[in-house]
Chains A and B, each alone.
Chain A
């Protein structure tokens, strides 16, 4: 099994008068790891809950493996949504795992056991006695061991310390390589998850800001520097996210396609070109209008 795909069409979710999701159209390709990025309150959790049919759409549609997930046992058996808090009642760790095994036809007890050890969890521990990081780790164990065709991880690494977070990324990737599946990873630790991602969806205030291949997105974020006039000529009509000058030289942060000959042109004009880390690009793109720095320059 290579995983379930997800198709979202004009999806809206409203809470009374506020639109948590507003016309979201995007897809997740089966068998890929997709990053769901967005600032706090951008709708990431609502989107994942709606895909997992914890929530019903107010408008538009969700398709998982070609079908609406709402009250659809076949599809739901293949969706594992785990969240930072773990969403588990006050039971022992062993019971959480037993529940996972009973729910998931794809569950691997062997993986669960090994990961418990890796995260220093004991099956006799009660969930309420776990620290925040340990609860996140337990959620990660459940998420990975489920081997669900659609695995949705909602900020599971939030309370974990750095070694635990990296262990989580490594284990997820290692198991994904052996058992490919579709993974949607919501996180705002973009720098850390960056290299795991093949696709990226950026949500901003309930709407899709960008949905693309991660490499294509990375290629569109560029920082160029050099002699100011040359830099401005080189930039042309690409969208400028930020411009700084220092004496006669300028550093310009761009978003857009500079063309396949950009490197050669840059070298000719003695302009340095650096790709923008995904995290920086995200910060620039989701910066609020009115906050001066995000809006500099022409489109």
Chain B
């Protein structure tokens, strides 16, 4: 359920961020209460509350007094933008470094990426909204 790399409240927050970014948790939708989290994951409710506090501070969730926590308007776009911004540093850079180490050259990489992306376009329904002009230019740059 939880791994040992990060504190549990960080993992809960990460999971909610991912659910919002991927659209599993829609904007305006209510998230589970701290008590429901605590009961489901068998953790102290204060741990869940800490995750929620972080997400409220980030603007991912909004608190409605006496009712509960809801996904904030615009949260999905903001999270996606943040994830896109980190993609090249966090995901691609290590993959490129490994390619360099084991001697995969640029042409081979580009060829593979083209083929993989073309395959994606043809088969898989995109989970994410289609890239906008802005992101496309970013990729080319």
Contacts and interface: CB of A to CB of B under 8 A. Distances in A.
A197 interface: yes
A112 to B, nearest CB: 21
B7 interface: yes
A54 interface: no
B34 to A, nearest CB: 9
B5 A196 contact: no
B69 to A, nearest CB: 16
Given A219-B7, A275-B5, A275-B6, A177 B42 contact: no
Contact of A197 (B9, B41, B44, B50): B44
Interface residues of A, number: 18
Nearest to B35: A177
A155 B80 CA distance: 47
Contact of B44 (A170, A196, A218, A274): A196
B55 to A, nearest CB: 16
B47 A274 contact: no
B46 A32 contact: yes
30 contacts: A32-B46, A169-B42, A170-B42, A173-B38, A173-B39, A173-B44, A177-B35, A195-B8, A195-B41, A195-B43, A195-B44, A195-B47, A196-B42, A196-B43, A197-B44, A198-B44, A198-B46, A198-B47, A214-B44, A215-B7, A215-B9, A215-B47, A215-B50, A218-B7, A219-B7, A274-B4, A274-B5, A275-B4, A275-B5, A277-B4
Given A170-B42, A215-B9, A274-B4, 12 more contacts: A177-B38, A195-B8, A195-B42, A195-B43, A196-B42, A196-B44, A198-B46, A198-B47, A215-B47, A218-B7, A275-B5, A275-B7
**Nearest 3 A/B pairs, CB to CB:** A198-B46, A195-B43, A177-B35
Interface of B: 4-9, 35, 38-39, 41-47, 50
Interface of A: 32-33, 169-170, 173-174, 177, 195-198, 214-215, 218-219, 274-275, 277
